[in-house]
Amino acid sequence: MLNRKFVPILVTFGLLAAMFAAGSFRYTGFFSAQVLYNLLIDNSFLIITAVGMTFVIISGGIDLSVGSVIALTTMLSASLVEQQGWSPGVVIPLVLIIGALFGTVMGAIIHYFKIQPFIVTLAGMFLARGICYIISINTITVTNSFFTKVAQTKISLPGGSFISINVIIALAVVLAAIFLAHYTRFGRNVYAIGGSEQSALLMGLPVARTKILVYTFSGFCSALAGVVFTFYMLSGYGLHAMGLELDTIAAVVIGGTLLTGGVGYVAGTFIGVLIQGVIQTIISFEGTLSSWWTKIVIGLLLFVFILFQRLLSDRRVTLKS
């Protein structure tokens, strides 16, 4: 009765509910609205980055540059605002455009030169991270009044809870991405290309434009995540978001998106990020465990979900044959 393509996202949601319930039974104070809101506050930048990565993976590609683009955005924002005296009203749109153009160039190289996305985005990762250190090898603290005001603003909610402006931005991106993926021609083209690029070409779909736009969107999301990260950390540093591309891919896969492309949901990715946040929160409440246990648990979950996806794919092929 249930469409098989919805099974991974339902399993992901069930896992999130089970983990949150387990934490609530084990730890006093875990079951509260603020704990849930803190997951969003602390992972807003990861949510935004993962949304862009979802489109890339659905299209059959990969983007390893996202963490470096976030770091570059923080460095550009901090240096221009603090050292050059530029207005945030100029700097923020500028870094968003730079991020989008960075993605556009990578997408064009991937498509027109027929180079594997892994190689192109790996080069982009080193390039963006290298530019960070050209700007400065030290941390640049952001003291600009606009950035500090945004960072310190708390939006009150019923029950005495609160969220940050970063959460509003992240949720807006998620809702916009859901609409883009499921209710626009661009979204349908992304799924078609991920399912079979050759079939998409035979159907007359704009494969080149769509693939380039996918990486443009990912670059834009990474830059926006960089702006949010700057609000969160109030600093620019070349080592910011180190390894975040792996956390992003993990969130997307745990959220039910197939690495082979063609299947996936933005909502699933959102839940995948929350699962990572719950793992970190449980380890924090435990108090006796190293933070590295987060990586261990996420690694185990990745193995389970990849095997689960493989079993679903094999069963789908068997049913068709």
The predicted-structure confidence for 41-91, as pLDDT tens digits, reads as follows 999 999 999 999 999 999 999 999 999 999 999 999 999 999 999 999 999
What does the pLDDT look like over 194-222, one tens digit per residue?
A: 999 999 999 999 999 999 999 999 999 99
Instruction: Report, as an integer, the average pLDDT of 109-123.
Output: 97
Write phi, then psi, for 260 (nearest 5 degrees).
Answer: -80, -10
What does the pLDDT look like over 136-188, one tens digit per residue?
A: 999 999 999 999 999 999 999 988 899 999 999 999 999 999 999 999 999 99
For residue 4, being part of any structural domain is answered with no
For residue 38, being part of any structural domain is answered with no
Instruction: Report, as an integer, the average pLDDT of 235-264.
Output: 93
> Which pLDDT does position 169 carry in this prediction?
98
Give the CATH number of the domain where residue 82 resides.
1.10.3470
> Which pLDDT does position 24 carry in this prediction?
93
For residue 16, being part of any structural domain is answered with no
For residue 78, being part of any structural domain is answered with yes
Backbone torsion region of residue 201, taken as left when φ is above 0, otherwise alpha when ψ lies between -120 and 50, otherwise beta = alpha
For residue 321, being part of any structural domain is answered with no
Instruction: Report, as an integer, the average pLDDT of 305-320.
Output: 67
**What range does the domain containing 103 cover?**
43-313
For residue 182, being part of any structural domain is answered with yes
Rg (C-alpha) for the chain, rounded Å, is 20
> Which pLDDT does position 136 carry in this prediction?
95
Tally of structural domains, the chain: 1
The vertex-262 CA angle with 193 and 296, nearest 5°, equals 130
* DSSP-based three-state secondary structure for 140: strand
Enumerate residues 6+ apart whose C-beta is below 8 A from 221: 48, 49, 51, 52, 53, 66, 99, 173
For residue 21, being part of any structural domain is answered with no
> Which pLDDT does position 3 carry in this prediction?
63
Q: Nearest to residue 156, comparing CAs of 10, 33, 24?
A: 33
> Which pLDDT does position 92 carry in this prediction?
98
For residue 12, being part of any structural domain is answered with no
What does the pLDDT look like over 1-27, one tens digit per residue?
A: 456 667 778 888 999 999 999 999 999
Residue 104's alpha-carbon distances to 161, 190, 210, 237, in angstroms, are 40, 16, 11, 24
